[in-house]
Structure formats: structure tokens, C-alpha cells
Structure 1
Amino acid sequence: MQRLHPALRFIVVIFAVFLAGGVALESAGTTGAGEGIARMHPPGYVGQERCVACHEPQGRDWGASSHAKSLQVASPSTLAGFGGAAAVGGDFVAFMRQASALARLEDASGKKVEFPTAFTIGVFPLQQYLVPFGNGRYQALPFAWDSRPASEGGQRWFSLYPEAGIKPGDALHWTSRNQTWNSMCADCHSTGLRKNYDIATRTYNTTWSDINVACEACHGPGASHVAWAESGRPATIPLKGLAPEGSGARGAYWGDFDERGIRRFVGPARHQEVDRCAPCHARRRALTDAWASGQPLLDSHSPALLDDTLYFADGQFRDEVFEVGSFLQSRMGHAGVVCTDCHSAHGGGLKADGNAVCAQCHDASRFDTSSHHRHTQGSEAARCVTCHMPGRTYMGVHVRHDHSFRLPAPARAAALGSPDPCLTCHSERGANWSEEALNRWGGGGHRTGSKFAEALDAGRKRLPGAQRLLVEAVSDPGNLPIARATALSLLARFPGAPALAALRKGLADSEPLVRLGAVRGLAPYPPATLSELLFPVVRDPVRAVRIEAARLLASANPAERSEPFRSALKEWVEAEQLASERPESTLNLGVLWAELGDAKKAEATLRSAIEEDPSFTAGAITLADLYRAEGRNSEAERVLRKSATSAPEAGDVRYALALTLIRQGRRAEARVELERAAALSPEESRFAYAYGLSLWEDGDRARAMAVLREASRRHPGDRLLLEALVSFARESGRAEEAADHARSLAQLAPENPDAGTERRPGDRQIAGPEGR
């Protein structure tokens, strides 16, 4: 078996799902038409026409919804932005030629080409457009139509990516993989979709049951329900042939206002309804294309946790996360609220206007008053969403609201670098002013913010005491499952006895999301530990949990290959193959084949990942590492140099190239590449560490100390940087500086009496791809 570096053993890629709002669909559009696309009902699906035939009122509501306009065939009646010729920055022209909508812009080669518009995505507040790109692939144009009224700045074309630097070959370029409709948008904008990608021919034969988000997207396949209706509606068929609804449990109700002025939900939990919306309203990755509405989310998808690229440390959304990840942090979600308590089930809009939607459960006489919100009644500042659901604008014009429903905590936000809704209107005042004002109004004690915030912040930054804070966050029952799961996953950065005890307990938690976080937190542990803890987990009833456990076990190369392990690993492979057009998934499979001992299959798979995208540096680095394991360093160098040419701004490939050169004894060349890596990726502390070490060993000690000091300033919680500074300062006769760094080192793990001592000089080595 080829032993790859640990960091290359397990890569979980969670793809973004792009949603755009809209409003109604012509019946002609339901057939769909386009190269490589066809309408085909998967087993059990019947199509929205059969549903609407018996459910006309619901059909009318749905027909006016954004879901009904999620995807439409381009036609004069569906195109919002092709009323006449339009140019944006000289790079884009949209125009009609007879009945066809055409877009003229640069393709991947930089040549101006006319593309026919095949489909529209959404309607309001923007409409996007899909053009055919060969082999059944459809790409989203980088320009969209702003559907808002002209008085609000709308009725114009605008660039979705106005920032400079997105060039052909970049994953975000409109011709590249992150803008491919089939893999990035399709399964949430249509119903019963099957992507049908053929990796051998690199073609799509995508099918859908309904072109848009129709009845069976939420209610599940309807064939059994139709059979129940047509056979006289026998009572012997449970749930009328449909998946459990989740929101209409017998005996469930909202009680009267309690002493707080808030209604309480009485009845069984309604998890099914959130799971019904979550596949398309969460950042997640599909594990199977056969998922149907109503099944638990983690049986069909692997969700993102509170990752630092998606959320601030206190849980406020940073990127576009599509609501559910935020909602799972909320008190309301914990108290029994579900999506349709606020939103119309079929129309999708709010059940009431303005603050009235909140007043369904929050007594307006107490909360919708100036004595509560302290602003002019009826003003924008007096809206509940202004303080409790602050908005962020995505895709140029689309304002989305944070569904974590949190209380403003200005001091906490300032300490963590998170947004403060008070400063949206009072930016000149500052956090101290807004904190003091809220305290005067009597909101001090309960506005402490998310209880997990400091732990996640410390874990992300590797701050002193981070392990202790994370373990405490995991153990605190006041933290909801998604926060505890995130804390467990961050414990992967701090392996040790306290972390392992928390992870062991997390694996037995009743919440599948917590178990998933615990599995992710076990990634750095040795094979014996993984075998002990994860063999029981491959029998977990939830797919997302068991397949990640099986993947980690595979990296441990267990002697025991039980049927549950083989079955769960097969499910993991199938999930990767479902995304086989993505080089990330091809990479994951290549790493697995290497660890299972099939070097030939691993090499072919990794080469395929690079061919899919030459700028995909992770594929090149992993292939080079495979060659390193086989002693083929010259081939590794060729792969890495080619990758560096394709991705000149990538520091990781320069770092890997430097390691390959060091193994060949070419230290001077390696130092040049380490300097480039550190300059290109200052966020990667190990690059600066390796560069500083190289400078020191080559005799440039003053420069080495300067590089390491600057890196430690940027990464104050990095142990290796501090260890090197302690050692080098002592060797340079700078006892006082060495003592300062030693004290900083000791603060990282105050429970460890040896934490303030550096490694022996003979233990120092340039870090490999595993990071340390």
C-alpha cells in the first residue's frame, strides 16, 4: 500500500448550491428542450401535471412562486433582460435575433463568440441565463439582469463578478467548472434530476422529472399517492402514499403567549420539515442522486458545519449559506419552529407582512413597540429583521437575511471581527457606544452572544487554550448540535488526550450532526486509534456519518475488512463517483486507491483529475506525492513544474516543488521555491516555517529570524514557529528574546509542563505536505 502524507488521506469537498429567486412558469416550459437534456420521470415520480389536476388551489399558489420559476426554457415570454441590445463594460452584449436570445462575450480562449441562451434561472431580484457548451454541459453567463424596479437601481445588466482577475482557466471563470449548471445548480433548480455524467466521454445526459422546483421536490415521489387516490383512498395505505409531512402531527399546536410574551410549540418535533427544505437551503454535498424529499438530510447529503469560510466565529453568516445552517443555530429552531411557520408552503412568500410574521409567536404589544426596539415606530430600524436577521447582499443585488435570529452583541462582535447590526445605521458610533446603549436598555445579561464563539475563534486561529475551550464547547448542553459538531471537527487541530476523550463521547451522541463532527475530528489520529473507535461507527444508521468513518478507516488500512466496513466504503466511493466531473472527487478516489495498494489505478485517476483541470494544484501535489512514495522524484518534479505554470499564483505547488528539490539535494533551487510559496500564501504558516528553516540552515540567520518573527506575528498560535524562534534565539545568544518566545509557547498549552521548551535542533525538519 502506498502511504501518502496524512493531509492527503481524506479530502471532503462540499459543493456550493446556487439559488436564484423568481416568479411563475408557462406550461410549455415544463417539457424542457435542449442539447443533452430530456424529461424523464425517475421511479415513483409522476410530474407536476398529475398533482395539480387534483390540487388546483395549491397549484395556483405554487404557480406564482419563485420555485415555479427556478428554471425555464428561454423564450420571449420568459426572458427578462433581452428587450434590446445591451453592453456591459464592452465585454458583453445581449440581443434578440428573431425569436432567439443571444449573448456575445469572450469564451475560454479569449475569443468573442455568440452563444444562444437556452434557459433562464429565476426572475427576481435577478435573472441568470444558461448557454449550451457542448457534450450536454450548460454554463451560467457571468452577466445577469437586475429585475428590481429602476427606482431601486434595477432594470439593467450587471456583472456577477465585477472584481478583476477572473481569467480563463480560473475555477470561477464563467466557462469553468464552478459555473457549470449540471453540477452546481441543477439538482436544486429542478425536480427528480439525474445528472448522468459519463466520465469516459466527459458528457452529460441530464434528465429531470420537472424542469422547476415542483410538487415532488417537496412532497416526494407521487406515484404511490396517485395509486392511493385512484384506488378509492384505502385507509390501509399509510400517509396516503406520501412521505411524512412533519408539520401537521395530530395534537400539535402553538400555545398562548407565556410570561415572556412568546408562544410555545406543543407536540412532537418536526424535523422532517426542515430536512425537507435543507437539501436545497444548506451548503452541503449530495451523497446520492436518488434522494427524495422527507428523508433525513444526513442520509442523502453531507452538510457543511460552521466553517470559517462560511460563518463568522459567532455563527453569523459570512458567505451565502442558504439559511438552514444558520437556522440550526437559532433558539427558534430549537423551540420547534419550522420553515412553514413563517413561509407559505406553496407560495413560498411570508405568511404576513413586515413584523406581523414575527407577531404570530411574539406578542406585538410587547415586542413591536418603541419600548422594545427603541426606534421610531414603523421605521426601517423598527423592523424585527433589521436587528435580529441582518441582511447581506450576494450575487450583486440579492439581499439574504441571517436565519440564526440572534440578539445583537456588539462587544462580542467587535472582539471576533463579526458584523454588528447596530453599526449598519450607526457606523460612526462604534461598538462601545452600541454595547452601552443596549446595556442601558436592560439587555445586558442575555446578550452574551453565541456561547461557542470564543471556542471556534480560538480553534480557527490556534490560540492559546483553544483545545480547552473547544472541549468545553462540546460538553456544554446549551450549544446546539451544529456548534458542538463544529467544535469537535476543530479538535482535529489539537490531538491529545482531552480532545480524544471529547471525540470518543461525540461518537456516541444521539445527534447525527454531532457524530459527524466527531468523525471529522479524528482525522489526524493513528491507525490503531481509528480502528478502535470507528469500526462501530461504520454501522451508523446515518449515511453521512458511516461513510466518513469508513473513509478514515481505509486510510488506517485495517486488517479487518468487515461487511459493514466494505458496504460503507462502497457508499463513499459512489458519492465520489456521483461528482466525478469534479477534479476534487477524482483526487479523493485516487488517494483511496493508493491507500488500498492499487498504485496503477491511483496514478491513472490522479492524472485524470489534472487533465480535467490543469490548474488544480491539489491533484498535481498528490500525484507527485505518489511518485515520491515510489522514489520517482524526477517525475514528481515534472508534474509540479507543469502545475506551477498552469497556476502561477498558487503557493502550495511551489512548496511541494521545493520539497521534491530538497529530496534531490538541490537546496539552492528549493530555497527559491520556498520563498515564492511563502510570498504567495502568507496565510500558510508552514510555508514561512520551512522557508525560515531553509535560510537558517544555509547560514542566512538574520533573514531567517526576520521571516519567522513576521510569520509568528501573523500566526501567534503556531507552535512550530515559536519552537524555531526559541531555538534560534538561544543559538544566536538572544536569551531575552528566547525567553519571550518560550513564554508564548507555554501559553499554548499551560497544562503541559514541557510546552515552553523547543525541540532539539536535530528534530527540526522542513514540514511535508501533511503540514507538520
Structure 2
Amino acid sequence: MSQVFRLALAFLFALAADVAKPQEARYVGSAACASCHKMESDDWLQSQHKAAMQEPADATVLGRFDGAAFIKDGVKTLFSKDGDGKFIIRTDGPDEKPADFPVQYVFGLYPLQQYLLELPGGRLQAFGIAWDARPAERGGQRWYDLYPGRKVSPGNPLHWTGIDQNWNYQCAWCHSTNLRKNYDPATGSFSTTFSEIGVGCEACHGPASEHLAWAAKPNQTPHRGFALGLDQRKGVSWSPSASGMATRIGPPVSDKEALVCASCHARRQQFSDDALAVARFYDAFRPVGLDEGLYHVDGQQRDEVYIFGSFIQSRMHAAGVTCSDCHNPHSGKLRLAGNAVCSQCHTAAVFDAPPHHHHAQGSAGAQCANCHVPAAIYMGVDARRDHSMRNPRPDRTASLATPNACNNCHANKSAAWAVEALKSWGAGAKPGAQTFAEGFRRADRGAPGAVPALAHIIEDDSQSAIARASALQRLSQAPTQAALDIAMHALAGREPMVRTSAIAVLANADAAKKLRTLAPLLGDQARVVRMDAARALAGDAEVDLSPADRLAFEKALEEYIAAQAFNAERPESHANLGALHLARGLSEAARAEYEKALALDKTFAPAAISLAEIERMSGDELAAEITLRKSLEQNPDSGSLAHVLGLSLIRQKRMAEALEKLEQAVKFSPDDPRFAFVYGVALHDAGAPEKALAELNRALGRHPFDRDILSALASYEAKAGDSKAALAHVQLLVELDPEDRSARAMASAIEARAARRH
């Protein structure tokens, strides 16, 4: 057989194999959908999804590029056009020197518009001075700073040149279609691509080539072959209830629609851009819980959380209501105007009437959304409604300092006034669907009864999945035996976010319990659960895995590592890999990851702290100190860095310097009780017991249920002869944790000492 014939035969075999192999669906562009789906296409062409990202042109750029100037912190920024008609922003660049940066893309439409500028390495960066697109009479038609009151200079992650303003990572997925980030760690550069600028049909429905092929064939049965699968919705029947509220007949519809929307309309982490993984949501995303700082303790939005986490708390979501029941998904607009959108389910004669809303018909107070879907302002001008659809709770404003819709409008009135108004309407005893606030408050303060309160939320199937997951997350901060038992039962939860949060609790268990409870989850249907189970088992527990479980473990751990690699441009991902390597005893591999994190962002303090810990464990305390001091230069107000440096100085027996740093830690991070506790102990050990007691009592005022502070105070007060104060503090310790034998022993010792003195 000749060489030519062999090559020809090999080619034919390869071609046949390629033909036999199922072809992956391809992205074809929104224009391909218009001929069959004209109404949907026409809606979409007028939507903000279509205009989410555009090329700069006179028709798309809303900002005034006529030589307008904006000055902040001594930096003058000019907006103009050059001789070729390009839109130019002249401002300080990465080197702090002024330069001209052409606008590469227009970002957003209303109520604000941002502009993307290019930096080397394929980076597009979101500029921090935005255009207020609102009408002039509403305060718009102006340039404004997205970070007022903060000096943001080059080197700061929030500066337009910084890592936290990077479009490729932060913004691109939700403003374009078929986004491939394509970051190359070897060169530190991006080759980011997208198939369509803006949010096109396939961003939600998936690649449409197979659908088009089906549509071209005659006499086909209905097709449901899209990758993401926002198919025609199942028919839903409605029935009016005695209260006038319509109810669904049959079980709630699938969460599939809400999860497709959640890929952008959720506060979440992303770890894959594969179309099929995205279609399963939890194979590509990890939604955050109702965390402090992001949400108020009652679940109301606080930071930018993008709707999903609010909506899935709601009674509407529990009843099976979906995003498209209220919103036209193609235009982005409400399906009906004003209260009519609510009257699809809630009978207008009952709810859109003064006996219900107690305001003049047609007034702002009579609008359902203003009471049940109140708005908060983000990015300076953007009012975003809280979709948890709750009853106003001014009583919680009084007890928990959470906002309420009544005082949003009646700002000159007190919460007590609003409470009495609701009582007078007969609405004061309607708690609403979100009944977890008091339990979360106890947990966040470490107050007595926190664990039983959280257990009640977790075990209550009527609570939303995000509420139960968030209760488990709080349990993971203090993993008592009771907490471990609660989490073990929660592993059987239907929702992936509940299972992942239960894993976070059980990650604190001993190796045997982790092995017993988490190994079965290595084959979970959700990638995020598999990854978390593998990460929790890595290290002490993995050595005793069975052969079958080890195969599943290795595969799931590879998924975890791949998830970190997906975001290799971020320091957090390298810190995660560093922690994984440390857990497995690979200190040098961990060191390399922490060094990569700092190379990406020299202000990333957690990596410096971990790197210093590796140096300390190797016996090089001086190297640890150098690392910490270098990081402090980049983060001069970091309480955590000052704290860890103080500990290093104590180990080096440089007590005066150590006390100075520990004091700085408390000053910079007054809300961290650990820093205050360590500073108080250090003062006492340094021979300043009175100052130690003063500092610890001051800290207890801010953290009244912190166990370390209470224990230190009780011990030092007992030594000082103040048995009454000591006993009060140790009794509170016993109340906080009745199973704490050391607290009970301390209480008995103090009581005995006091009895001997008398």
C-alpha cells in the first residue's frame, strides 16, 4: 500500500468519524431568529438587553464629549472627540500620568452609561466617571463620580485601571452573548470573544443552530433542543381564593426560568462559561446567601444583589410565580402598567382599593410596588426594586434597624408612628414570608439562643432555600456539635445551595465524620456541591477514602481546581488553591499560589497573611514580618495585617512594637472582636491589667456576646478580686453555651473563691 493511499484512506476514515460525531450547537446570532419570532424580536430590539453593550457612535454615546471637564482629587478628566470622530477620554492612566484613551465600547443605557477603555493585555476597563442619562429636571445630563467621597488613585483596585474594574471578569458575561473570557495565565493577557455584542436571544436560549435546522424541515414536532432551554412555558391554571388572591392549581413550575435569569440577575460567583454548564446553573454559578453587608438581617437588599436572592425569598416564588409572569423577557418591561401587573394574581377589587392600601387612589402610596417592592439607589442614580415582595415591617426598624417601606415615603415620621398606623389598619399582625430576621440577628451577634433559632429556620420547610442556606452559613461560624448534627440532616436538602451550606458546616468536623457524611456527595448532580464536598475532604479525610470514593474525589477535586483556573486572573482563586495545597501538606505549592495572588494584586492582604504564615511555620519569623510590613505599605489601614504583624512581633518578644500594632488593628477594624480580645490579653500579659480590663470592657460594649472577651474578662476580674463582675460574665458564657464545661468550671471556681473571701 503506497504512502499516498494510506494518507487518503486515513483522511476518509477521519472524515467519516467527524460526520458520525454529533455536532455541537453553534451560536447563529439574533438576526436569525427574527423571521419566525418577529414579535419577540421587535420587543428585543427596543430593550436594554439589546443595548447592554454597543460600539461607540453618535447614536449610541449619550455623554457629552464636547470638551467637558470633570475634576476630582486634583485629577482633571476631559471628554472630547478627535479629528476622526473617535470619542476620547483624557485622564490619569496606570502610571498616574494623563493620557488619551479612546472609548472602545458603550456600556449600558439608562439611567446611567459607562464607557470601556482599553489597556494592554486585552483588558477592557470600566471608567469610573459615568454619564447620568436621566433628564436634566431629575438631576441628570451630567458627568458624575461613581465613588464620591473616596480618593481612588492608580494602584487601587477600584481605580478605572484596577483589577476590580476589569470588564473581562466583572462585566462581560452579563453584557454580551456567548462570552469566552480566554485568560492566559502564562502571559497574563485576555483574548476575550463574544458571538454577539449585547444580550441577544442566545444569551438566554442557548446556541440556536440545531433549532434552525429543525425549523427548516417540514412537519416537525415541537422542538425543545436549546442548550439553555427557555422553552415555551407550561400552561398554568389559576383559581381565585377566598381572600381574593389567585392561586396556582398544581405544583409550582420549575425553577429553570429563574435560574437562567439568575446567571446575570444574581449576586454570584461564576466558574464556567460552557453553555451546557450554564444551562444547569449550579454547574457554572454559586449564588451568595443573605450575608451581612449584602443584605439587611431581614433579607432586604443592602448592597447590589441583582434581584434573584431577593426574589427567591418571596412567597410569590414559593407559589411558582416566575420572572416572566411580571416581566416581558424580550422587552424587559412590565407586562402591564402599574398595579395591573399585580392584579394578574391579586384581585384588584380587594387589593387595589383604599381599604387595603389606605392611600388616595392613584397616589404614590396606592402603588403596590412602593409598599411591597421598595427601591434603593445604587451607582448613584439607579433605583432597583427589592423583589422579596414583603410586607412593610416598621416594627423591625425599631428592633433591628432594618428599613421599611412606610418610612421610605414618610421620612419625617418615626418607625413607631408607622407601627401604630399599620395597627390602626388591622395590618400590624402580618409578619410576611420572611420570618428569619430575629434568628439571624441572634446569630450575627452571637447572642444566647442563636443555634436553636438557626436550627428552627433550617428545619422549617416553609422557609425559602436561601434563608435555610444562609442559616447554615451562620452555623459554620461556630460549629458546635449541635451545629454539626443540624448540618448533617440538611445534606439531604433538595436545593444545591442548602447542601453546599451544610458542607461548609461539616468541613469543621473531624476526619471520620467528614468522610461519613460528605463522601456520598462526591457524585452529586450539581457540580458546586461535588466541588465543595471534595474541597472539604481534601487533606485529613481523603487518606481513608474507599477506592470507589477516591475516584469520585479525584474527579470532583479536578472540577474544583478547574473552577479556580477559570478565574486565574483573580487573586482569590490563587488564594483558594493555596489553602487547598496547605490542607494537603504541600506548603511550597501553596507558597507559589499566594505569590501569584500578590503578583496579580499587591493590595490583596489575605494572600500576604497566608504567605507570612507559611514563613512562620518554616521557622523564619523575620521573613514573615517582612512580608507583612510590605503588604501594610499597600494597605496602611488594614486591621488584619496590623493584627498579624503584632502577633509576629510578640513571638519575637518585641512587646512594645507588638502592642502598637495590635492597638492599630483595633482602631482600623473595630468590628472585629478577635482583634480587641488579643489586644486586651497582650496588655494584661505586658503588665497593664487595668488598661487590659478597660480595653476588654470597651470591646464588650461593641461585642456583648463574644465568648473570648467574656472569658478573658471573667478570668482577669477574678484575679483582681472583682468576683461579682467575673461571675456575671461567666454566667453569660454558660447561658451562651450550656454545654461549655470550662465555663461551668470557671463559674464554680469563682463562686468558691468568693465564698472563701466572705
TM-score, normalisation: structure 1: 0.90
Aligned to 1:25: none
Contact 2:132/2:381 (<8 A) preserved: yes
Aligned match for 2:518, one of 526, 530, 534: 534
Aligned to 2:393: 409
Structural mapping, 1:738-749, within 5 Å: 738-749=726-737
Does 2:657 match 1:669?
Answer: yes
Aligned match for 2:160, one of 161, 170, 174: 174
Aligned match for 1:607, one of 592, 595, 599: 595
Does 2:55 match 1:73?
Answer: yes
Aligned to 1:514: 498
Q: For 2:745 and 2:82, locate their aligned partners in 1 and report how far apart those are by CA, in whole Å.
A: 74
Offset at residue 402 of structure 1 (A): 0.4
Structure 1, residues 725-745: CA drift from partner, whole Å, max 9, x if none? 000001111122212212322
Structural mapping, 1:463-474, within 5 Å: 463-474=447-458
Structure 1 414/46 Cα, relative in aligned 2: closer, same or farther at 3 Å? Answer: same
Contact 1:528/1:556 (<8 A) preserved: no
Aligned match for 2:412, one of 419, 423, 428: 428
Structure 1 596/513 Cα, relative in aligned 2: closer, same or farther at 3 Å? Answer: same
Does 2:446 match 1:462?
Answer: yes
Structure 1, residues 232-261: CA drift from partner, whole Å, max 9, x if none? 3533x8525565436622xx3231322111
Aligned match for 2:138, one of 152, 164, 170: 152
Aligned to 1:123: 109
Does 2:243 match 1:260?
Answer: yes
Structure 1, residues 63-93: CA drift from partner, whole Å, max 9, x if none? 1001000001112221110352222236322
Contact 1:538/1:547 (<8 A) preserved: yes
Q: Please tell me the residue identity of whatever aligns with 2:108.
A: G
Structure 1, residues 398-429: CA drift from partner, whole Å, max 9, x if none? 00000000001111232111101111222332
Aligned to 1:356: 340
Does 2:78 match 1:93?
Answer: yes
Offset at residue 524 of structure 1 (A): 2.6
Contact 2:204/2:230 (<8 A) preserved: no
The residue matched to 2:680 in structure 1 has which SS? helix
Q: For 1:488 and 1:291, locate their aligned partners in 2 and report how far apart those are by CA, in whole Å.
A: 30
Q: Please tell me the residue identity of whatever aligns with 1:113.
A: A
- Report the more deviating stretch, 456-465 or 515-524: 515-524
Q: Please tell me the residue identity of whatever aligns with 1:525.
A: A
Q: For 2:575 and 2:563, locate their aligned partners in 1 and report how far apart those are by CA, in whole Å.
A: 13
Does 2:46 match 1:64?
Answer: yes
- Report the identity percentage: 40
Aligned to 2:577: 589
Q: For 2:64 and 2:747, locate their aligned partners in 1 and report how far apart those are by CA, in whole Å.
A: 66
Q: For 1:584 and 1:637, locate their aligned partners in 2 and report how far apart those are by CA, in whole Å.
A: 22
Aligned to 1:504: 488
Q: For 1:537 and 1:410, locate their aligned partners in 2 and report how far apart those are by CA, in whole Å.
A: 42
Structure 1, residues 722-765: CA drift from partner, whole Å, max 9, x if none? 0000000011111222122123223312465654554999xxxx
Q: For 1:208 and 1:83, locate their aligned partners in 2 and report how far apart those are by CA, in whole Å.
A: 28
- Report the more deviating stretch, 69-78 or 440-449: 440-449
Structure 1 347/525 Cα, relative in aligned 2: closer, same or farther at 3 Å? Answer: same
Q: Please tell me the residue identity of whatever aligns with 1:381.
A: G
Aligned match for 1:219, one of 196, 205, 212: 205
Contact 1:314/1:449 (<8 A) preserved: no
Does 2:606 match 1:623?
Answer: no
Structure with more contact order per residue of length (Cα contacts < 8 Å, sep ≥ 6)? 1
Offset at residue 227 of structure 1 (A): 1.7
The residue matched to 1:591 in structure 2 has which SS? helix
Aligned to 2:171: 185
Aligned match for 1:374, one of 350, 358, 375: 358
Q: For 2:526 and 2:665, locate their aligned partners in 1 and report how far apart those are by CA, in whole Å.
A: 41
Structure 1, residues 430-452: CA drift from partner, whole Å, max 9, x if none? 12221121112111332366211
Structure 1 627/528 Cα, relative in aligned 2: closer, same or farther at 3 Å? Answer: farther
The residue matched to 2:177 in structure 1 has which SS? coil
Contact 2:131/2:143 (<8 A) preserved: yes
Aligned match for 2:304, one of 307, 320, 324: 320
Aligned match for 1:702, one of 682, 690, 696: 690
Offset at residue 267 of structure 1 (A): 4.4
- Report the more deviating stretch, 535-544 or 284-293: 284-293
- Report the more deviating stretch, 732-741 or 46-55: 46-55
Aligned to 1:13: none
The residue matched to 1:92 in structure 2 has which SS? strand
**Where do 5+ consecutive residues of structure 1 fail to align?**
1-40, 762-772
The residue matched to 1:653 in structure 2 has which SS? helix
**Where do 5+ consecutive residues of structure 2 fail to align?**
1-22, 750-758
Q: For 1:319 and 1:178, locate their aligned partners in 2 and report how far apart those are by CA, in whole Å.
A: 16
Aligned match for 2:402, one of 418, 425, 432: 418
Contact 1:199/1:580 (<8 A) preserved: yes
Q: For 1:66 and 1:143, locate their aligned partners in 2 and report how far apart those are by CA, in whole Å.
A: 21
Q: Please tell me the residue identity of whatever aligns with 2:404.
A: D
Offset at residue 388 of structure 1 (A): 0.3
Offset at residue 207 of structure 1 (A): 0.4
Q: Please tell me the residue identity of whatever aligns with 1:56.
A: K
TM-score, normalisation: structure 2: 0.91
Structure 1, residues 163-214: CA drift from partner, whole Å, max 9, x if none? 2233332222221111110000001111110100111111000000111100
Contact 2:227/2:275 (<8 A) preserved: no
Offset at residue 347 of structure 1 (A): 0.8
Offset at residue 296 of structure 1 (A): 3.1
Q: For 2:498 and 2:28, locate their aligned partners in 1 and report how far apart those are by CA, in whole Å.
A: 37
Aligned match for 1:632, one of 616, 620, 635: 620
Q: Please tell me the residue identity of whatever aligns with 1:726.
A: A
- Report the more deviating stretch, 179-188 or 625-634: 625-634
Q: For 2:265 and 2:449, locate their aligned partners in 1 and report how far apart those are by CA, in whole Å.
A: 35
Aligned to 1:84: 66
Contact 2:204/2:228 (<8 A) preserved: no
Q: For 1:608 and 1:622, locate their aligned partners in 2 and report how far apart those are by CA, in whole Å.
A: 12
Structure 1 213/196 Cα, relative in aligned 2: closer, same or farther at 3 Å? Answer: same
Structure 1 233/720 Cα, relative in aligned 2: closer, same or farther at 3 Å? Answer: farther
Contact 2:239/2:249 (<8 A) preserved: no
Aligned to 1:7: none
Q: Please tell me the residue identity of whatever aligns with 2:730.
A: A
Q: For 2:424 and 2:433, locate their aligned partners in 1 and report how far apart those are by CA, in whole Å.
A: 17
Q: Please tell me the residue identity of whatever aligns with 2:494.
A: S
Q: For 1:462 and 1:108, locate their aligned partners in 2 and report how far apart those are by CA, in whole Å.
A: 44
Structure 1 224/449 Cα, relative in aligned 2: closer, same or farther at 3 Å? Answer: closer
- Over the aligned positions, Cα root-mean-square deviation in angstroms equals 2.0
Q: For 2:644 and 2:227, locate their aligned partners in 1 and report how far apart those are by CA, in whole Å.
A: 53
Q: For 1:316 and 1:375, locate their aligned partners in 2 and report how far apart those are by CA, in whole Å.
A: 24
Contact 1:108/1:168 (<8 A) preserved: yes
Contact 1:287/1:578 (<8 A) preserved: yes
Q: Please tell me the residue identity of whatever aligns with 2:732.
A: S
Structure 1, residues 25-57: CA drift from partner, whole Å, max 9, x if none? xxxxxxxxxxxxxxxx99622222222243232
